[in-house]
Structure 1
Amino acid sequence: MQPSLIERIHQVLKLSPESPALEFQGQWFSWQSINDAMNQLEDSLVKAGLGEGDVVGVLLRNRPAHVAALMQVLASRRCVATINPFQSPDKVSADIRGLKLKAVICDRDDLAHAQLSDTARECGTAVLEMSADEALHISTVQAAPAQASTDYHPALPNTCILMLTSGTTGPAKRIELPYRSFALSLMGTPGHYSSHKEVEDIRLKDTPAVLTTPLVHIGGMFAAMAAVTQARPIVILEKFSVAEIRRALTTYRPKLISLPPAALRMVMDADTPVEELSSLLAIRCGSAPLPPALQEEFENKYGVPLLDSYGATEFAGAVAGWTIGDHKQFAKQKRGSVGRAQPGTQIRVVNADSGEVVPPNTTGILEVISNQIGHKEWTRTTDLAQIDEDGFLYIKGRADDAIIRGGFKILPQDVVAVLRSHDKIKQACVVGIPDQRLGEVPVAAIELRPGSGEVNIDEIIAFAKNKLTSYQVPTAIKIVEEMPRTPSMKISKHAVKNLFLDQA
């Protein structure tokens, strides 16, 4: 019988307490140090009056004490409310107020600005601090006032995470992820992307995982907890850099890592030596569309398969993805696909209006049945998609991203594909902005290739007119030095839209 997530966390902690568990900037922390920090956190939460199901706010950074905090909140069956520490102090304070927290856990760096402590005192929220020196520490630095209001967030006994979506297309929102869903997704993942299924065991692994994605988002949180449940040490990158990923690859020789497309491009642009990636059997991709041209260029240079995937916060993990076996057989002819349905998942594409299943290779709305959701009804996504005759899924954009210009529907990714085909354009993002006459019009931000020289906007517009239908051509184009991105390295369409709205 498979252990529960809570049981597995405690099993792993007991395997070899003095063995290395978390590496950060060259320093290792043991499983015992994690366990000690977890016990410190539990004492502080109990003193703050938090029991099972209570919501705990955590400002999650990619640091070792933060992984320990996440493990303890989950292992005590409380609920993690993720708070993005990269926001302004005003927005962090607004999150604390809005969540009505009994306790918030933050890094010592987050307390450098007095506003967090002031807001917590005002809201009756206890403040716990995470830090690391030779060991990991979590302690109370500001207790809740004795006269604090009791109007706290209600307990959520079946929810493990109040997860922030990435905020790629608009302001981030919170989704409740049930314990059952998260555990099923975690415990069922090992082996799917590898060339063989791992036998269920409980032994410490020799090769560490490398955490490259933000812990505050579902991808990073999932990656960290998947490593823990597999009893695998973790090398933590506070933020992605080519220098840090090269250090991790050459020092620890991992077989599998996860990198978003933007990071793959950075590795390519830095002319990273081929031999430094030679330990890798594959690289998992996700969080943003993987351009077929980038995939082909990367695989031709490094010989490492890129295994793209598709998932959503609502499903607590991947819905579809490539396996090494599928890559060997279909990689060339299925470029642009995000793979086939994960085990325990069914996918279909339906007509948006009638709900009827459309024929293969026809664009419609993607619907999913997933074991993680806990019911057998089709759940409609907001993604436009196609499924081919072999079951490979192609994401064609978001239904709610479609720009309706005077009655004509424009799919932004169609326009992006044309703009990126220009030899001077490295990246593009197309969004819709309000228009009094037409309802909405497309605009585009573009990032130029290094060394491309002067670029005339009129030249770009003429290029687009030559390749697009007239109503698809952006009404305005801005050249940006670098695309605005979310912490998970996705292009922030919300920020791009604001570039044009602010100007208006």
Structure 2
Amino acid sequence: MTSLTSRLKGLWEIDPAAQAISYDGSWWTWGELTTTADDCDEVWRAAGAGQGARIAIVLENRPEFAAAVVAVLASGRCLTTVSPLQPTERMAADLERVQPRILVASPAVWERLSDAGVHTRVGLRVTVRPDGTVTAEGGPPAPRPEVDDAPGTAVEMLTSGTTGPAKRVRLSYRQMESALSSARSYDRRPESERKALPQGVGIVANPVVHIGGLWGVLQAMYDRRRVVLLERFRVQPWVEVIRAYRPKLGSLTPAGIKMVLDANVPAEDLSSLRALNSGTAPLAPELAEQFHDRYGIPVLSVYGATEFCGAVAGWTLDQFREYGRSKRGSVGRAQPGVRLRVVDDAGNELPSGTSGLLQVCTPQAEAGPGAWTPTSDLARIDEDGFLWIEGRADDTIIRGGFKVSPATVAKVLEKHPAVREASVAGRDDARLGQVPVAAVEPAAGHPAPAEDELIRLCRRELLPYEVPVRILVVDVLPRTPSMKVSRVDLLELFDHLDGERDEAAV
């Protein structure tokens, strides 16, 4: 039995009347959570899904789905996540690839799948309702061990797919345990105090179907900590939770930080916070400084990836106090047990301060301790071990043989006072291979900038081949569920506009 499995099995020993998960103003108890988990387990066992079996779940930010996750991982099965946030057509295509023998979903999702005609192609259809009741219909097809079983795999998770089609990453029980244990190493309390239920609460506003949200729920379950689960991030509900429970540490994506600043949340509402973690997307140092200046709360960047089960580098509060100004823009240092290095295209390690491709050595990676795992991130590491992420190698635009960094172009566009945020992507071009295109979201209180005005700004500050061929001004930039800008959907905006022009020309 793995330590993750045994830790989750220990949830059945907690006082069943104690609070576990808050959702929409009401608390689920540990007893309610484990009862729903037991009901899920009974249905799966009856279908012949034992240890190592893949259980596909259309995973929503709700307590009953947290219970279903506990049921999967406490029994040594494999959780295959399916996003409820994607359009029904994309979900149907994902399920065609997964071919689930057992699929768990809410009544609302089953209705969507039924309308799309997908439900009849699923084996055992398990419904988990908001009150925690579990029912099943249909029957699983004959077992296909090579498809239905994934021994040793804890989670099969889709990446966010911001720069291309999402891919499914397998995370083993060993990786998950290493990541959870690493996070727990920051807890300096004596073991006798750890055995008691913690008094504070965790707050999960990120989608549980992605690593940040799932990590928040699992860490709470692992530590027997109460957790407040939000359906999604919205400023006012998040602030209400901060006011109600007075946590010392919060977590927001860069987009969430912008939303809090734009909403002009009163400083006293956030006065309990001693620091704010920020990950999932690059954090502009100007944005972190603006938040710190307004609220007096340090923003601590975190760097990680789905493939590493979460974070592998970040800031501590002590490091921020000592290095916050001199290491501006860094995502912090390697976490305990993690090593980082930067290499050239041939794999040779580069000296401190030199930009190259980042590699990570961590027990949280699939390759295990001692092996170096390449990333797609361009980075540099200084002589003090601080890491700067400078972009992604795989989103570099090659325009007629010249390399264009989307981050460089976006940074210039965001200098315009009327631009709140910009995103740049490479669009296929028959002559040049790819050309940069951009979309910008206007800043509050400013009239929308004109495209020719933005083009002139780019021509002043960029090389000729870096200037976008087109710039769209949109009300809201398209985002993934984890609030990153989706370049896939951004490019679809241009395709849609071109399609409308073609129709108008006919």
Shared fold (TM-score greater than 0.5)?
yes
User: 1:144 Cα deviation (Å)?
Assistant: 1.3
Deviating more after overlay: 327-336 vs 210-219? 327-336
Q: Is the 8 A contact 1:224 1:234 kept in 2?
A: yes
User: 1:3 Cα deviation (Å)?
Assistant: 7.7
Aligned partner of 2:281 in structure 1 is: 288
Aligned partner of 2:195 in structure 1 is: 202
Q: Which runs of 5+ in 2 are unaligned?
A: 499-506
Correspondences of 1:122-137 after superposition (within 5 Å): 122-123=121-122, 125-133=123-131, 136-137=132-133
Cα distance in 1 between the residues matched to 2:213 and 2:259: 19
Aligned partner of 2:338 in structure 1 is: 345
Q: Alignment partner for residue 234 of structure 2, among 241, 251, 274?
A: 241
Indicate the SS of the match to 1:325.
Answer: helix
Aligned partner of 1:90 in structure 2 is: 89
Cα distance in 2 between the residues matched to 1:286 and 1:235: 19
Aligned partner of 1:257 in structure 2 is: 250
User: 1:115 Cα deviation (Å)?
Assistant: 2.0
User: 1:15 Cα deviation (Å)?
Assistant: 2.6
Aligned partner of 2:215 in structure 1 is: 222
Look up the equivalent residue of 1:240 and give its one-letter code.
Answer: F
User: 1:450 Cα deviation (Å)?
Assistant: 1.5
Cα distance in 1 between the residues matched to 2:325 and 2:361: 28
Q: Is the 8 A contact 1:169 1:492 kept in 2?
A: yes
Correspondences of 1:404-483 after superposition (within 5 Å): 404-483=398-477
Aligned length: 493
Deviations 1:275-311 (A, max 9, x none): 1111112111000111111100101111111111111
Aligned partner of 2:358 in structure 1 is: 366
Deviating more after overlay: 34-43 vs 95-104? 95-104
Deviating more after overlay: 371-380 vs 68-77? 371-380
Aligned partner of 1:324 in structure 2 is: 317
Aligned partner of 2:495 in structure 1 is: 501
Q: Is the 8 A contact 2:425 2:437 kept in 1?
A: yes
Q: Is the 8 A contact 1:48 1:144 kept in 2?
A: yes
Aligned partner of 1:212 in structure 2 is: 205
Cα distance in 2 between the residues matched to 1:359 and 1:497: 37
C-alpha spacing 1:116/1:163, structure 2 compared with 1 (3 Å): farther
Query: What is the percent sequence identity of the aligned residues?
Result: 40
User: 1:149 Cα deviation (Å)?
Assistant: 5.1
Aligned partner of 1:14 in structure 2 is: 13
Q: Is the 8 A contact 1:432 1:442 kept in 2?
A: yes
Cα distance in 1 between the residues matched to 2:190 and 2:285: 34
User: 1:128 Cα deviation (Å)?
Assistant: 1.1
Deviations 1:179-228 (A, max 9, x none): 10011101220354xxx734442221111101111000011101110111
Deviations 1:419-451 (A, max 9, x none): 111111100001111122221111111111012
Cα distance in 1 between the residues matched to 2:429 and 2:117: 42
Look up the equivalent residue of 1:322 and give its one-letter code.
Answer: W
TM-score, with structure 2 as normaliser: 0.94
Q: Alignment partner for residue 274 of structure 1, among 239, 259, 267?
A: 267
Cα distance in 2 between the residues matched to 1:158 and 1:252: 37
Cα distance in 1 between the residues matched to 2:89 and 2:435: 32
Kindly report the root-mean-square deviation, in angstroms, between the aligned alpha carbons of the 2 structures.
Answer: 1.7
Residue 25 of structure 2 corresponds to residue 29 of structure 1 = no
Deviations 1:12-38 (A, max 9, x none): 331322100010011001001111001
Aligned partner of 2:504 in structure 1 is: none
Deviations 1:443-480 (A, max 9, x none): 11111101211422111111111111111111110001
User: 1:151 Cα deviation (Å)?
Assistant: 4.4
Q: Is the 8 A contact 1:89 1:116 kept in 2?
A: no
Aligned partner of 2:135 in structure 1 is: 139
C-alpha spacing 1:170/1:114, structure 2 compared with 1 (3 Å): closer
User: 1:390 Cα deviation (Å)?
Assistant: 1.0
User: 1:88 Cα deviation (Å)?
Assistant: 2.3
Deviations 1:59-117 (A, max 9, x none): 11110101111111011110011001112223222222321212111112212235279
User: 1:372 Cα deviation (Å)?
Assistant: 1.5
Cα distance in 2 between the residues matched to 1:151 and 1:4: 28
User: 1:319 Cα deviation (Å)?
Assistant: 1.4
TM-score, with structure 1 as normaliser: 0.94
Cα distance in 2 between the residues matched to 1:199 and 1:340: 26
Look up the equivalent residue of 1:46 and give its one-letter code.
Answer: R
Aligned partner of 1:80 in structure 2 is: 79
Cα distance in 1 between the residues matched to 2:157 and 2:113: 26
Q: Is the 8 A contact 1:461 1:474 kept in 2?
A: yes
Q: Is the 8 A contact 1:117 1:127 kept in 2?
A: no
Look up the equivalent residue of 1:210 and give its one-letter code.
Answer: I
Indicate the SS of the match to 1:86.
Answer: coil
C-alpha spacing 1:121/1:437, structure 2 compared with 1 (3 Å): closer
